[in-house]
Amino acid sequence: MKNLLLLFLTVILFSCEKEVKPTYVIFNGSAENNIANTAKLSGNGFNKDMAISETGSFSDTLRIEKEGYYSLRIGRESTPVYLTQGATLGLTLDAKEFDESLVYTGDVAAENNYLAAKYLLSEKEMAFDKVYSLSEEDFITEVNKINTSYSELLKSSTGVSKIFIEKETKELEYAHINNIENYEQYYQYLTKDISFKASSSLYDSYKGFNFKDTQAFENSSAYKRLLESHYGRIARDITNSNDKDIALAYLETVDKNFENGDAKDELMFNYLRYGMKANNALEEVYSLYKKSNQNSDNLSKVTSSYKVLKSLTPGKVSPTFDYENFKGGKTSLADLKGKVVYVDVWATWCGPCKREIPSLKVLEADYHDKNIAFVSMSIDEKKDYETWRKMVTDKELGGIQLMADNDWKSKFVTDFGIRGIPRFIIIDTEGNIVDSDAPRPSNPEIRTAIDAIL
Task: Compute the half-sphere exposure of residue 432: CA atoms within 13 Å on the CB side of its CA.
Answer: 7
Interval 233-242 mean pLDDT = 93
Interval 22-36 mean pLDDT = 93
Would you give the distance in Å from CA 245 to the centre of its chain?
22
Interval 87-112 mean pLDDT = 96
φ/ψ bin of 343: left (φ > 0), alpha (ψ from -120 to 50), beta (otherwise): beta
What gap in Å lies between CA 98 and CA 92, rounded to an integer? 10
In 3D space, the residue among 324, 329, 348, 345 whose CA is nearest the CA of residue 416 turns out to be: 345
> Is 28 contained in some domain?
yes
From 310, 336, 367, the end of a domain falls on 310
Pair 301, 328 in one domain: no
Residue spans of alpha helices (H) in 220-258: 221-242, 246-257
Structural domain that includes position 56: 24-110
Residues forming beta bridges with residue 59, ordered by sequence position: 28
In 3D space, the residue among 224, 210, 208, 303 whose CA is nearest the CA of residue 263 turns out to be: 224
pLDDT tens digit sequence for 279-291: 989 999 999 999 9
> Is 315 contained in some domain?
no
Would you give the distance in Å from CA 178 to the centre of its chain?
14
Residue 3 clears pLDDT 60, i.e. is over it: no
Interval 157-163 mean pLDDT = 96
- Look at residue 8 in the predicted model and tell me its pLDDT: 44
From 257, 282, 310, the end of a domain falls on 310
413, 423 in Cβ contact below 8 A? no
> Is 64 contained in some domain?
yes
What gap in Å lies between CA 40 and CA 75, rounded to an integer? 9
- For the chain, how many structural domains are there in total? 3
Pair 59, 132 in one domain: no
> Is 438 contained in some domain?
yes
Q: What phi and psi values does residue 309 have, to the nearest 5 degrees?
A: -65, -30
- Look at residue 220 in the predicted model and tell me its pLDDT: 92
> Is 393 contained in some domain?
yes
Pair 299, 327 in one domain: no
Pair 378, 418 in one domain: yes
What gap in Å lies between CA 273 and CA 417, rounded to an integer? 10
Interval 401-408 mean pLDDT = 97
73, 42 in Cβ contact below 8 A? yes
In 3D space, the residue among 446, 418, 240 whose CA is nearest the CA of residue 356 turns out to be: 446
What gap in Å lies between CA 422 and CA 354, rounded to an integer? 9
Pair 305, 191 in one domain: yes
Residue 2 clears pLDDT 80, i.e. is over it: no
Q: Coil, strand, or helix at residue 332?
A: strand
- Look at residue 7 in the predicted model and tell me its pLDDT: 43
pLDDT band at 4 (very low <50, low <70, confident <90, very high): very low
φ/ψ bin of 73: left (φ > 0), alpha (ψ from -120 to 50), beta (otherwise): beta
Pair 85, 42 in one domain: yes
In 3D space, the residue among 382, 423, 424, 399 whose CA is nearest the CA of residue 327 turns out to be: 399
CATH number of the domain that residue 387 is part of: 3.40.30.10
Q: What phi and psi values does residue 317 have, to the nearest 5 degrees?
A: -65, 130
- Look at residue 165 in the predicted model and tell me its pLDDT: 97
> Is 9 contained in some domain?
no
Cα dihedral 30→32→38→41 (10° resolution): -50
Pair 373, 444 in one domain: yes
Least confident range of 124-128, 172-176, 260-264? 124-128
Higher pLDDT: 24 or 375? It is 375
> Is 417 contained in some domain?
yes
212 Cβ contact partners less than 8 Å away, ≥ 6 residues apart:
257, 258
Q: DSSP class of residue 364?
A: H
| First-residue to last-residue Cα distance in the chain | 104
Q: Does the pTM exceed 0.85? A: no
For residue 55, which amino acid is it?
A: T
Residue 14 clears pLDDT 70, i.e. is over it: no
Residues forming beta bridges with residue 330, ordered by sequence position: 324
pLDDT band at 6 (very low <50, low <70, confident <90, very high): very low
Pair 297, 445 in one domain: no
Residues forming beta bridges with residue 340, ordered by sequence position: 372
From 310, 344, 378, the end of a domain falls on 310
> Is 389 contained in some domain?
yes
419, 274 in Cβ contact below 8 A? yes
Pair 332, 276 in one domain: no
Pair 54, 160 in one domain: no
Pair 163, 293 in one domain: yes
Range 417-448 burial, b when 16+ CB lie within 10 A, else e: bbeebbbbbbbbbebebbbbbbbbbbbeebee
Pair 426, 299 in one domain: no
pLDDT tens digit sequence for 353-391: 999 999 999 999 999 999 999 999 999 999 999 999 999
